[in-house]
Amino acid sequence: MFIFILASCKDEEPTPPEETDYSLCKAAGYDYDPAAITDYELVWSDEFDVDGEIDKTKWGYDIGGSGWGNNELQYYTTDLNSWVENGNMVIEARKENYMGNAYTSARVISKNKGDWLYGRIDVMAKLPTGVGTWPAIWMLPTDWRYGSWPNSGEIDIMEHVGYDQNVVHGSIHTKFFNHSIGTQRSGTRVVDTASTEFHKYSIEWLPDRIKFYIDDFNYFTFHPNRQVSCPTVGQWPFDMRFHLLLNIAVGGNWGGAQGVDETIFPQRMEIDYVRVYQSEFITNLQKG
């Protein structure tokens, strides 16, 4: 009987592993070399060449002071806290009582005026400084096709918290990768002159990865297919159009983790330019 069992096991053919059907996966199955993309063209930009109000054909505002889901302290206004001056967009956070909030600031958005799927986005900016400041250059989905945050995604091109001066963060948030459950995917880089000089903060957003840059140095790449063999929308909701947001928050769960120094205000983030490039090759890229 023992010999029979051995013979039976020897005769069985092993089951071959199933091949992944990448047509069913997000951010997988593309065959291309990102380094070989040569056809990026400028499709949208603001050089901030005209002083005064921001260009309302390109930008709008998020307005309010409800804490913005992060227990932030500022009330976001419109032109009171954002304008163009000396060739730069200025976003200024101030300590002043307004609409029941102790601080004011601005959150400038390109929603429905600049919305993109894939591309290279460059923002040349000089950051505020001081404990309690929380500037960000980031992106949210325009249409929220996969549901409310974080299911439809968030791309943080640049975040900086004043209590950790000169440490710049780039992150993504999705259903399965987000800060509320401690699983966000992030990279950091020290920029010694983040608040005294202008630096270029960029992403290259491709169909299967997002590459983060500071001054053209790639310091972090989010590539979900390196983490799971067949990503789902829970790991990659980044196949829908997104828009830009530029803001300074005051305090909040992260920015105010070590309090707010009331003596530092006003504080400014200055933006020299915003440029968006897209590649026809990437726009038309198919799997396989």
3-class DSSP state for residue 188?
strand
Provide the H-helix boundaries in the chain.
2-11, 280-283
Q: Which entry of 154, 197, 262, 270 is annotated as an active-site residue?
A: 154
Dihedral sign (CA 249, 250, 253, 256): positive
Residues sharing a CB contact under 8 Å with residue 84, sequence separation 6 or more, in sequence order: 48, 50, 51, 52, 53, 54, 90
Out of 72, 92, 159, 204, pick the active-site residue: 159
Residue 89 CA to residue 268 CA, distance in Å, equals: 10
Angle among Cα 223, 228, 232 to the nearest 5 degrees reads 85
Q: Is 159 an active-site residue?
A: yes
How far is Cα 174 from Cα 166, in angstroms, rounded to an integer?
A: 26
What does the buried/exposed string (b/e) look like for 7-17 if buried means 16 or more CB atoms within 10 Å of the residue's CB? eeeeeeeeeee
Residue 203 class from Cβ within 10 Å (0-12 exposed, 13-18 middle, 19+ buried)? Answer: buried
* 154 annotated active-site: yes
- Give the integer Cα–Cα distance in Å for 244 and 242: 7
**Residues facing 95 on adjacent strands:** 103
Q: How far apart are CA 234 and CA 275, in angstroms?
A: 29
Kindly state the tokens that stand for 185: 């995917």
**Positions marked catalytic:** 154, 159
